[in-house]
Amino acid sequence: MGLRSKARLACVCAACGLVLCARAAAAQVLQGQPIVLGNGAVTLSGDFSASTGLDDPGFYNYTDYQSTDAAQELESADSSLRRVRAALSGRVKAGDHFSFLGELRIQSAGSSQIWDSRPEASALYVRIRPWVDRALDIQVGRIPPTFGAFGRRPYTSDNLLVGYPLGYQYLTSLRPDAIPANADELLRMRGRGWLSNFSVGNPIPQRGVPLAATFRWDTGIQIHGTTDMIDATASITTGTLANPLVKDDNSGRQIAGRVAVHPIVGLVVGASASRGPFFATNAVRAATTQDPDTFTQTAWGADAEYSRGYYLLRAEAIVSRWTLPAVRAPFIDGPVRATSVSVEGRYKILPGLYAAARVDHLGFSTITGTAGPRTWDAPVDRLETGAGYYVQRNVLLKGSYQFDRRDTNRVPRSHLAGAEVVFWF
């Protein structure tokens, strides 16, 4: 075990020891509620999580939250099974119509130091409520996600297991700053989203993108309204679903929306859609004379959640389509598509103790290269099972076992295990 693993393991063990000692003493020594100041004018909340697990040589659990410096890419790549993260959120209420909200986050990124990244303002926006008596608000800035269900759950505790759904975490080989010159180049990168490279645009090997990024938020304007049965959200942002941005890279805009319906108690059914230019202007200009707005990511999503008694069931599907420039033969046959499906459940065994499981599939459309037709990226299947125990209302210990399978010669199968402690207030 290297220094990085020992540091993270020590952090997890220390945190677990602290909360277990607190439980044994029957004392709520950890802050359990948001901190409210100035008669409600200022509210502070936060969460901390630390996970440790087995080495992941297949990069199945690496995420898009990592350095963009290619020289440090392998060292800085961030695995959801081996990281430390802390976040502090705040809300300042300026009268009945305006509130200012933000989140400051710091997260490990894989070197020998526990904290090797600078604090980042992962959220920073103003919320405007035009009418006090209506459930309608407008949010401007670095805003919460519009698309899907999983990305809209703010706390690590909302994730039943240590790993994450494939559609929101697994890195495909596509990149916004580099474009495959032909089908053979794209096929050569199958299963290598953790470090892919193409000849058009930025030639330096770097990470790819997931179908939907959940660890970074986009920048723009969002409108959100609710009734007793319907929850609706729409947004215009600078980035795309797979590549949220603070500073735009192609002068395009993404339009996204989600509608959720609550037909009966315990049931939520949602549908989402988004569309926006995906590739950076510099990459498109190196490939074609066409407008960068032509080459988009278009996504559709469906989700459902049902809870009753001891049970909680969730299901979510994402279909994403990217339109790529045609550079040279063998040409990529039209847009490339990826589809993710995730089904998970939880059962409460005892007060504070639950068992959970998730089944994932990530599939890709077929393109034709010199050697014949093949999926443009390597399909992935995942089974993850585990359990969680609430030491107190806002302290959760989780452990899980994960089996991954991928249609590639590089680490086609992987057995992984991880543990995590989560605290929030």
pLDDT attached to residue 395: 96
Instruction: Kindly report the pTM of this predicted structure.
Output: 0.89
Interatomic CA distance for residues 325 and 282, integer angstroms: 13
Mean pLDDT computed over 220-234: 97
Interatomic CA distance for residues 223 and 233, integer angstroms: 6
Q: Considering Cα of 405, then 410, then 414, then 417, what sign does the dihedral take?
A: negative
For the chain, domains (ranges, CATH) are 3-424 (2.40.160.10)
Condensed to tens digits (0 to 9), the pLDDT of residues 34-90 reads 999 999 999 999 999 999 999 999 999 998 875 444 444 444 457 888 889 999 999
pLDDT attached to residue 77: 53
Least confident of 54-68, 299-313, 338-352: 54-68
Interatomic CA distance for residues 258 and 256, integer angstroms: 7
> In sequence order, what are the residues at sequence separation of 6 or more whose Cβ sits closer than 8 angstroms to the Cβ of residue 158?
none
Condensed to tens digits (0 to 9), the pLDDT of residues 234-283 reads 999 999 999 999 999 998 999 999 999 999 999 999 999 999 999 999 99
For residue 118, what pLDDT band results from cuts at 50, 70 and 90? confident
Which amino acid does the sequence have at 319? V
Interatomic CA distance for residues 81 and 396, integer angstroms: 16
Interatomic CA distance for residues 373 and 261, integer angstroms: 41
> Which stretch of DSSP H or E encloses residue 46?
strand 42-53
Q: Considering Cα of 55, then 71, then 196, then 243, what sign does the dihedral take?
A: positive
pLDDT attached to residue 29: 53
| Contact between residue 182 and residue 332 where contact means Cβ atoms under 8 Å apart | yes
For residue 151, what pLDDT band results from cuts at 50, 70 and 90? confident
Rounded to the nearest integer, the mean pLDDT of the chain is 89
Which amino acid does the sequence have at 425? F
> In sequence order, what are the residues at sequence separation of 6 or more whose Cβ sits closer than 8 angstroms to the Cβ of residue 216?
64, 65, 122, 244
pLDDT attached to residue 73: 45
Interatomic CA distance for residues 182 and 328, integer angstroms: 6
